[in-house]
Structure 1
Amino acid sequence: MRNSIFSLAASIAVCVPLLTASLSALAEGRHSHGHGMHKIGEPGKAGNVTRTISVKMYDNYFEPEALDLKEKETVRFVVTNKGEFVHEFNIATAAMHETHALEMEMMVEHGVLEPDRINREAAKHMQEIIGHGMHEEGNSILLEPGQTGELIWKFPDHATLEFACNIPGHYESGMMGDIKLAH
């Protein structure tokens, strides 16, 4: 009985902050899973790409450190993980990054994200159980060390955006950059 009460209390302690943050983000239309996506842009089409930008992810920083883009521009990002750990390139607002960081923390807790690899079987299992785990949002790409991937994104006409790695501890250690949109 005592163990059951402890397990229930521990589950509540983990789930309540995540649920609160997710509901708050949904209410404001900022969640990265398709809700309010128009506020940060939308997945772009290859035929509309105006330029290609190479992004390199190192352990706790990006090259380039910031991006100067045009409003409504469609950009192909060729992203390479040059670090020793799994990294993410995610386009969002600061508030969306904060919410997504909680989801990434859950991915670590469920064994999806290991320091240097993505456990695809654990991701499938997490997806089946809670509907999150495959990390297939259009505004983000998750790469193991040495991997390269592409993301095509059409930016909105007005937004305050960042690109960041939301793996626990990475954003906090400076693995983020500003996206400036000009007319």
Structure 2
Amino acid sequence: MSFSTEPDASSRYPTFQDALARRILAHPGIGDHQSDSQEDADALDDFASYLARELWSFLPPVLREAPYEDRASVPDVEDLSLENIPTSFTDSLISYGLVEDEESAVVFLRRVLRDYVADACAPPPVWSKTRTKECEICEREVPLTYHHLIPREVHDKVRKKKWHPESMLNSVAWLCR
């Protein structure tokens, strides 16, 4: 099994990092204290980024890719063997008081992975549910219409050449005239 060492910008890495950051914020004592300090927010972002980078290369490729189109190929998080997680991840969680021991670090990681898989494998939104009040280009509040980002006339060609996943075909932008 080959593992990449660096997160790929086009991958699901940002989704994983967000799931990890949300779990950190949900921890009692971290998300409870309200701080408007940009310094605190930057430190939390750096910490979540560090942990995500440490873990990403240890995740199986099928989990790192987690496609909506083939959700059945993604293993159940409870069935994953997590003995090979880096000690730096576990030690960091213990040092910051997020977990008490290695066992609770694995439980924490399983929660992160459940959130990540749910987000990564979620179906794309129905175009009508993406409606905004402002034009997505000029940001004015005027009457809007939706426009397909991949023109409907080329959907057959896109499918044939596999330029985009099927789920991307009905992506729209809400624009003013």
Give the TM-score normalised by structure 2: 0.24
Q: Which has the higher helix share?
A: 2
Greater strand fraction, Structure 1 or Structure 2: 1
The structure with the largest alpha-carbon Rg is 2
Query: Which structure has the higher relative contact order (CA within 8 Å, separation 6+)?
Result: 1
